[in-house]
Structure 1
Amino acid sequence: MRRTELLDIANGWFKSQQWKPFKFQRDTWNAFLQGKNGLLNAPTGSGKTYALWFPIVLDYIKRNPEYKTKHKKGLKAIWITPLRALSKEIELSALRITEDLGTQMTVGIRTGDTSQKERAAQKRTMPDLLITTPESLMLLLASKGYDKTFKDCSAIVIDEWHELLGTKRGVQVELALSRLKTVAPQMRIWGISATIGNLEVARQVLLGPSSETCENSVLIRANIKKKITVKSIIPKEMETFPWRGHLGLRLLDEVVPIINNSKTTLLFTNTRSQCEIWFQKILEKYPEFAGELAMHHGSINKETRLWVEQAIRNESLKAVVCTSSLDLGVDFAPVETIIQIGGPKGIARFLQRAGRSGHRPGKESVIYFLPTHAVELIEASALQTAVKEMVVEDRMPYLNSYDVLVQYLNTLAVSDGFLPDEILPEIQQTFCYQTLTKDQWHWLLNFITLGAQSLQVYDEYKKVEVLEDGRFKINNRSVAMRHRLQIGTIVSDTNLMVKYQKGGYIGMIEEYFVSKLERGDVFTFAGRNLEFIRIKEMQVHVRNSSKKTSKVPAWMGGRLTLSSQMSKILREEMYKANADFSRQPPEIRALKHIFDQQRLESIVPNENQFLIESFKTKEGHHHIFYPFEGRFVHEAMGSLLSYRISLLDPISFSIAFNDYGFELLSDKPVDIQQVIDNDLFTTEYLLSDLQKSLNSTEMARRKFRDIAVISGLVFTGYPKKVIKMKHLQSSSQLIFDVFRDYEPDNILFQQAFTETFEHQLEEGRLRIALERIAKQEIVWKQCQKPTPLSFPIITDRLREKMSSEKLADRIRKMTAILMKN
């Protein structure tokens, strides 16, 4: 069957649905049927799933002209999704095509939620089209005879590639693709990505560095203009001295009319804790929403999440309070409105969430921005600008993730084993390992066979044997089982199952939160007040409670930081406060009284100025710096500057920081002008000063825990016998100390420091920020009291020490004193 006939089949199907295919869909069909690999860039809700399922099925029809009567079983295509929650949606799209076109193709899902019975059935006969996750794909590569499973696979699609890019899961995918290209040479590789700033790099990471000049790879852009309307919820009254958290829930009454005027509304929060609090507070104040309001986040059990997703589709819910668990790909046509609670910290995340509403080609997306403190209105204005100018962040890929490579080599050794000379060229063709040297390769081979140099006396680290034919293989069944249990790159605190004492699964909660609870304590989780009874066999036993409580679980990793693009636009919005207020966006105009007060005490910096404020309180001498670069950069810069100041005059500081600036607090005064004159912001000696200023060894030690888990140096435990995080931490710290003292050139040990500086402290961004500040006029203002801009930073430090009630009381008193003066 010729390509034109195949395309007629697709066009006919679209016509039967009373749809018309977009140009990007037709371009993708053509490129795929011509045998090309590629990256498709298309916005949420534009029909990108059909852009790739169709050519996969059409290619099968082309290869099997008698497809309606004869069917050859076996895996023909794989669809990788980063979220298990998306699997059902993708399966429905595939089934619609395969059934309507009369093929006998089967569609299956294989994720962590797939039952053992279903997995066993798949082992006997793989579905034609398989939907899976990066981790489950790696588990398939850990199966004996995997080459027979994949040999006839004609396509692999990596969905939401922008989410995987810049993570170790993305590296996992790169390695899997490097192997599958050899096993199934006719296989086409396609990625689907929402808009990111560096699409060309995204293509290179997906298809390999050589794809940039390869005629066989394409980048297809949808070029669909999606109308996004951003509306800020501007409070009628705001304190002149704002602090984080004081505004959010006070605007609850502004949110309810928006919910009532929409068919369905999603309220996005940045953390699961915030999600729990908002759900509770809405129901407390507006009990009429009972039954029409739900909650969705990653720690709630699967059945509840699926029920919520289906209820949104059925339009039986008025609103859902959610987190990033609903950020991606799920198709919710009925959703009319999105409310973003607090700054999303990134433009791409904001656009992704906006795209959840009007989730149909050509439909307008409406998103409301609700600030949780006054200064976040500047973020709201910055987001409006970003949407207008279509500015989106880059995603930076990982390089030389040796821990993931060690895990991958063990995966191959668990299945059929591997020959190093065959595998090395495949690995070197990936983006992540394109600079891997022969010396590093031999080190890695020695590591998996002999253990680290300093651990050679311990047999447990000698996992892989070298057979007579030179094949590297794991033959020990116990080692193989432990490896399969630990495949993956997502390392977090141990999750414990929350269950009612009499049975009934509620969700997952992190061990570190539960460790603080005593019997009888009441906490809010999954929209219920639960009384803690005990922990038994990795399960948290609870009962319902009628007591009110302010305890809400906090999940690690809940704090986001401003992206570099967001920081830049935020600074530009800030500078607008110095221009004619009548011409400014409503968000900036609403902050006029705050900027006026700021000018009385200090200045509002313009684009050529960098502001430092100093003032004295009972707590000591405060020095506030305003780079507007995000909390990670501020943590590093605060430590760096405090170290450099202490070189001139022995002094110690406590450091507080938020997304806008940081505070150095000392018990004695500092002549800031003197330290500025001593090249305070120079980028010279940056790395060595950073290492000395921060406890970089301690930070690397924490980072090493993840590396040790991923590389298999420490074992996380068996199902229902998971090793506690504190024990994992102590085991990995012990190995870290051994490497530091006896094997400092160990590649995994060195990786911990590299990742600390590149990913945690964002050393590259810090360097650029220092270069920018060095070119600006540094304005040092000696103030009589805290200024409106400094207030959120000071109160963030107090937050760490006080309960929310005491903090609110303290801040009311502080504000009253400041306003009197």
Structure 2
Amino acid sequence: MNKTQLHKIAEDYFDHQGWEAFPFQKKTWDAFLAGKHGLLNAPTGSGKTYALWVAVILDYIKKHPDYKKKPKKGLKAIWITPLRSLSQEIAQASQRFVDGIDLPFTVGIRSGDTSTKERTAQRKSMPDLLITTPESLHLLLGSKDHAKIFKDCQAIIIDEWHELLGTKRGVQMELGISRLLGLSKNIRVWGISATIGNLEQAREVLLGVDENRFRESVLIKANIKKDIKVQSIIPASMDKFPWRGHLGLHLLEDVVKIINSSRSTLIFTNTRAQCELWFQSLMTKHPEFAGEVAMHHGSINKETRIWVENAIRNESLKACVCTSSLDLGVDFAPVETIIQVGGPKGVARFLQRAGRSGHRPGETSVIHFLPTHALELIEASALQKAVATQAVEDRLPYILCYDVLIQYLCTLAVSGGFYPDEIFPEVKNTFCFAAITDEEWKWCLDFIVYGSSSLQSYDEYKKVKIDDTGRYLIDDRKIAMRHRLQMGTIVGATLVTVKYQSGGYIGSVEEYFISKMDRGDVFIFAGRTLEFIRLKGMIAHVKNTTKKTNTVSSWQGSRLPLSAQLGELLRDEMENFQTGKKRTPEVKALKEIIQRQQLESIVPQKSEFLIETFKTREGYHAVFYPFEGRFVHEAMAGIIAYRVSLLKPITFSLAFNDYGFEILSDQAFDMQEILDNDLLTPEMLSQDLQASMNATEMARRQFRDIAVISGLVFTGYPNKAVKTKHLQNSSQLLFEVFRDNEPDNLLFRQAYTETFEQAIQEYRLREALERIQEQEIIWKACEKPTPFSFPIITDRLREKLSSEKLADRIKRMQLKWE
């Protein structure tokens, strides 16, 4: 069959559905038929499934013109999705197409939710298309007959590649792709990505460093214009001193008006705790919404989540309060309106959420921005500019993740063994491990056999054996089972299952939260008010209660940092608010606050760096405004406090938010001396970070995840998880052993690298300090706190006070300062 005849098969199906193929879909079909690898850049809901699955089918028909008679059995393509919730959508669309052209192909799903019976059936007879996750792919690679399963596979398609890039799951995929390319020479590698800043690099990471493969690849852009309308929800009266801590709930009635005027609404929050609070407030103040408003986040049980997704799809819900669990993929055509509560902290995340509304090509997406404090209106304005210019963030790939490599080598050893000389070239061809040296490779091999030099006396770390032929394999059933149970790179806190005493699974919360509970304590979770009865093993037994409580289940590490891209847009936007030339609703709403800020201090222009100092009953405050996000500000505050302490013995308490940071002391300190001594410099940055941030303690915490991924510590069996405290103790002990006896241990070194690159974001801190050196530093000695400093001060108070006491304290502060 020629290209025209093949296209006609697909186009006839499209005509029958009342569709017309997009140019990007046809380009993808042609590139795949020509044997090319590639990356498809297409927004959610634009028909990307049909771009690649149709390509795979047309390629099969080209090679088997008698395709309707008796198709060849076996796996033809693997579709990787980072979220299990996307699997059903992809499976339904894929099955509809093959059924529509009378091709007797089967589509199967394999994930953590797949039953043992179904997995066994798949092993005996693989579907033609297998939709799976990175973790399930590696479990298949760890099976004895994996070479046979994949030998005739023609394509691996990685969906939402931008979500995997810049994570250890992405590294896991790089290694998985390298093995599949080794098993099947004809396999084609394709990724699908929404817009990110570094698309070309995303393609390079996907395909590895093989120049021939990269030359034979294409980058196809969908070029579908998406109109996004951003509307700020502006309160009737603006506090002159904006503050944080109420999570935007003072605008609840404005949200209710939007819900009532829309067919369906998604309310996006940045954290699961915020999601719970918003849902609870809506239910308390508007009981008439019962059954019409739901909640969706990753810790709620699977059945409830699926019910919510289907209810949105069939329009039986008016609104859903959710987190990033609904950012991606699930196709909700009817959603009319999106509300974003608080700054989304990233342009790409905001665009993704906006795209959930008008989730069809050609439709306008409407997103309402709800500020949790007044200054977030500047963020809203910056986001409008980002939407207009499509200025999105880069996703930076990980380099040399030895823990993921060690886990992968054990996976191959479990699958019947591997020969290092065969696997090393494959590993070396990945982007992550392109720079690995022969010595580092040998260290990883020795580690899985002997457990590193300082652990050689302990048999539990000796997992892999070498047979007479030089093959590395795991032949111990217990070691193999433990490895399979712990496969994956997502290391969260230990989860406790929440169940009713009478039976019935509600969801899971983190162990640290539930461990603080006493019998009879009441907390809010999954939209229910629950009374804690007992913790038995890793199961928390609860019952429904009518008692009142302010305790909402919370999760650690859920605060999102401001992205570098959005920080830059914020600094640009500040100028428009200062001059007042822009006539937007946001500028008008903030007019009084900006005037008050200019009266007390200044609104910094892009070329200026503002420092404010003032004295209160609490002590001497210095507030700095880099607009770089809380992670960078936390590190910068620590460095400046440390450098000041070198000039004179002094102690500080620190506070920070996404816009700036505060150093507070009970002793007076001379800001001019700080400026004269050039303390805002990138010189000696690494050494000062080590001293100021207690990098060893941070690396020790980071090492826990590395120890779990590399298999140094075991997290436990199903329903018998090892407690977080024990995991932490075991990993800390190993960290100290390596620090004292084996400082060149690659996993020990990796803990420090990750601390500086991911936790502290040293590269962004360095760039920020370099930028500050180019700016004019303006120091304003103020009489009292300014509108800009107010949210930072209250952020610090929030850590110490209950919400009621905080609200009272802030009211007193406002009255005093006004």
Question: TM-score, with normalisation over the residues of structure 2?
Answer: 0.99
Q: How many corresponding residue pairs? A: 818
What is the identity, as a one-letter code, of the residue corresponding to 2:197? G
Corresponding residue SS for 2:68? coil
The aligned counterpart of 1:230 is: 230
CA contact (8 A) 2:158 2:192 kept: yes
The aligned counterpart of 2:322 is: 322
Of the structure 1 ranges 581-590 and 145-154, higher mean CA displacement relative to structure 2 is found in 581-590
The aligned counterpart of 1:604 is: 603
Q: Using a 3 Å threshold, how does the CA distance of structure 1 residues 44 and 467 change in structure 2: closer, same or farther? A: same
Mapping 1:93-492, distance limit 5 Å = 93-211=93-211, 214-246=214-246, 248-492=248-492
CA contact (8 A) 1:204 1:212 kept: no
CA distance in 2, matches of 1:806, 1:109: 51
The aligned counterpart of 2:789 is: 790
What is the identity, as a one-letter code, of the residue corresponding to 2:577? A
Corresponding residue SS for 1:241? coil
Deviation at 1:288, TM superposition (A): 1.4
CA distance in 1, matches of 2:805, 2:620: 23
Corresponding residue SS for 2:358? coil
Corresponding residue SS for 1:669? coil
Deviation at 1:583, TM superposition (A): 3.0
The aligned counterpart of 1:512 is: 512
CA contact (8 A) 1:757 1:763 kept: yes
Deviation at 1:72, TM superposition (A): 2.3
CA distance in 2, matches of 1:517, 1:806: 22
Deviation per CA, 1:68-121: give whole Å up to 9, x if none. Answer: 221322111100000001110110011101111111111110000111111111
Deviation per CA, 1:594-639: give whole Å up to 9, x if none. Answer: 1111122211112221111111112111111100000010011011
The aligned counterpart of 2:619 is: 620
What is the identity, as a one-letter code, of the residue corresponding to 1:466? I
Of the structure 1 ranges 184-193 and 59-68, higher mean CA displacement relative to structure 2 is found in 59-68
Deviation per CA, 1:459-487: give whole Å up to 9, x if none. Answer: 00010101110110011111100000000
CA distance in 1, matches of 2:165, 2:250: 38
CA distance in 1, matches of 2:214, 2:638: 46
Deviation at 1:582, TM superposition (A): 5.2
Corresponding residue SS for 2:215? coil
Deviation per CA, 1:171-204: give whole Å up to 9, x if none. Answer: 0000000000010111111000000000000000
The aligned counterpart of 2:772 is: 773
Corresponding residue SS for 2:102? coil
CA distance in 2, matches of 1:588, 1:217: 47
CA contact (8 A) 1:296 1:321 kept: yes
CA contact (8 A) 1:40 1:220 kept: yes
Corresponding residue SS for 1:12? helix
CA distance in 1, matches of 2:808, 2:546: 27
CA contact (8 A) 1:140 1:146 kept: yes
Deviation at 1:344, TM superposition (A): 0.2
Deviation at 1:212, TM superposition (A): 8.6
Corresponding residue SS for 1:800? helix
Deviation per CA, 1:379-410: give whole Å up to 9, x if none. Answer: 10000010011101000000000100000000
Mapping 1:641-660, distance limit 5 Å = 641-660=640-659
CA distance in 2, matches of 1:253, 1:582: 31
Q: Using a 3 Å threshold, how does the CA distance of structure 1 residues 461 and 227 change in structure 2: closer, same or farther? A: same
CA distance in 2, matches of 1:249, 1:32: 50
CA contact (8 A) 2:417 2:472 kept: yes
Corresponding residue SS for 1:214? helix
What is the identity, as a one-letter code, of the residue corresponding to 2:636? M
CA distance in 1, matches of 2:221, 2:245: 40
What is the identity, as a one-letter code, of the residue corresponding to 1:651? I
CA distance in 2, matches of 1:48, 1:261: 32
What is the identity, as a one-letter code, of the residue corresponding to 2:386? A
CA distance in 2, matches of 1:55, 1:613: 60
Residues 1:11 and 2:11 aligned together: yes
What is the identity, as a one-letter code, of the residue corresponding to 1:37? H
The aligned counterpart of 2:763 is: 764
The aligned counterpart of 2:91 is: 91
What is the identity, as a one-letter code, of the residue corresponding to 2:757? E
Deviation per CA, 1:785-806: give whole Å up to 9, x if none. Answer: 1111111111111111111111
Deviation at 1:274, TM superposition (A): 0.7
The aligned counterpart of 1:745 is: 744
CA distance in 2, matches of 1:70, 1:213: 33
CA distance in 1, matches of 2:183, 2:694: 46
CA contact (8 A) 1:204 1:211 kept: no
CA distance in 2, matches of 1:786, 1:620: 12
Deviation at 1:551, TM superposition (A): 0.7
CA contact (8 A) 1:299 1:507 kept: yes
Deviation at 1:211, TM superposition (A): 4.9
Deviation at 1:747, TM superposition (A): 0.4
The aligned counterpart of 2:694 is: 695
Identity %: 67
Deviation per CA, 1:20-56: give whole Å up to 9, x if none. Answer: 1110000001101111100000111111111011111
Deviation at 1:659, TM superposition (A): 0.3
The aligned counterpart of 2:812 is: 813
Deviation at 1:649, TM superposition (A): 1.1
Corresponding residue SS for 1:651? coil
Corresponding residue SS for 1:497? strand
CA distance in 2, matches of 1:103, 1:582: 62
What is the identity, as a one-letter code, of the residue corresponding to 2:303? E
The aligned counterpart of 1:590 is: 589
What is the identity, as a one-letter code, of the residue corresponding to 1:199? L
What is the identity, as a one-letter code, of the residue corresponding to 1:174? E
CA distance in 2, matches of 1:577, 1:230: 18
The aligned counterpart of 1:539 is: 539
CA distance in 1, matches of 2:315, 2:246: 33
CA contact (8 A) 2:614 2:621 kept: yes
Deviation at 1:304, TM superposition (A): 0.6
CA distance in 2, matches of 1:700, 1:266: 38
RMSD: 1.1
Residues 1:31 and 2:25 aligned together: no
CA distance in 1, matches of 2:468, 2:512: 48
Deviation at 1:451, TM superposition (A): 0.6
What is the identity, as a one-letter code, of the residue corresponding to 1:70? K
Q: Using a 3 Å threshold, how does the CA distance of structure 1 residues 766 and 97 change in structure 2: closer, same or farther? A: same
CA contact (8 A) 1:110 1:136 kept: yes
CA distance in 1, matches of 2:807, 2:537: 39
Deviation at 1:584, TM superposition (A): 3.7
CA distance in 2, matches of 1:792, 1:390: 29
Deviation per CA, 1:334-382: give whole Å up to 9, x if none. Answer: 0011000110000000000000011111111110000011111111000
Of the structure 1 ranges 228-237 and 167-176, higher mean CA displacement relative to structure 2 is found in 228-237
CA distance in 1, matches of 2:784, 2:375: 19
CA contact (8 A) 1:624 1:790 kept: yes
Deviation at 1:246, TM superposition (A): 3.5
Deviation at 1:285, TM superposition (A): 1.3
Deviation at 1:766, TM superposition (A): 0.6
CA distance in 2, matches of 1:642, 1:583: 38
Corresponding residue SS for 1:209? coil
Deviation at 1:496, TM superposition (A): 1.1
Q: Using a 3 Å threshold, how does the CA distance of structure 1 residues 213 and 480 change in structure 2: closer, same or farther? A: closer
CA distance in 1, matches of 2:639, 2:227: 43
Question: TM-score, with normalisation over the residues of structure 1?
Answer: 0.99
CA contact (8 A) 2:354 2:365 kept: yes
Corresponding residue SS for 2:90? helix
The aligned counterpart of 1:803 is: 802
Of the structure 1 ranges 750-759 and 235-244, higher mean CA displacement relative to structure 2 is found in 235-244
What stretches of structure 1 of length at least 5 have no aligned partner?
none
What is the identity, as a one-letter code, of the residue corresponding to 2:494? T
Corresponding residue SS for 2:529? strand
